[in-house]
Amino acid sequence: ILNVEQSPQSLHVQEGDSTNFTCSFPSSNFYALHWYRWETAKSPEALFVMTLNGDEKKKGRISATLNTKEGYSYLYIKGSQPEDSATYLCAFTGNAGGTSYGKLTFGQGTILTVHP
């Protein structure tokens, strides 16, 4: 059974604060690590798909890093805004030949609330 863990489970920050959270995943048979943002009453929306060790990706105020050797990824939000409030999900997929190829195994998510 694959274990994808996210921490913290929930986070409350003030508008303007910068924040980060963690996703840990199996370091063997790695293929890709996905980050999604899921706002209430909407569909999950892809933020990043990361495949290479040391990858850093950025979209506006949100960025992510990837360490496949130790099995973790960080998501950073700079200058949080109330509209950033959402559940942030990471998901792992393994490489071809492994049992997890083509399948996303999701973490439980980090619920972020940004207070005005």
Of 13, 17, 22, 31, the residue at the interface with another protein (CB under 8 A) is 31
Among residues 70, 96, 97, 116, which is the contact residue for another protein, using CB under 8 A? Answer: 96
**What is d(CA 78, CA 69) in angstroms, rounded to the nearest whole number?**
26
Dist. CA 107–CA 90, nearest whole Å? 6
Residue 39 tokens read as 């706002």
Instruction: Give the per-residue contact string, 46-65, with another protein (x = CB under 8 A; - = no).
Output: x--x-x--------------
The nearest distance, CB 20 to another protein, in angstroms, is 20
Residue 23 tokens, joined: 């996703």
- Rounded Cα gap, residues 95 and 93, in angstroms: 7
What residue ranges bind another protein (CB under 8 A)? Answer: 4, 31-32, 34, 36, 42-46, 49, 51, 89, 91, 93, 96, 101-109
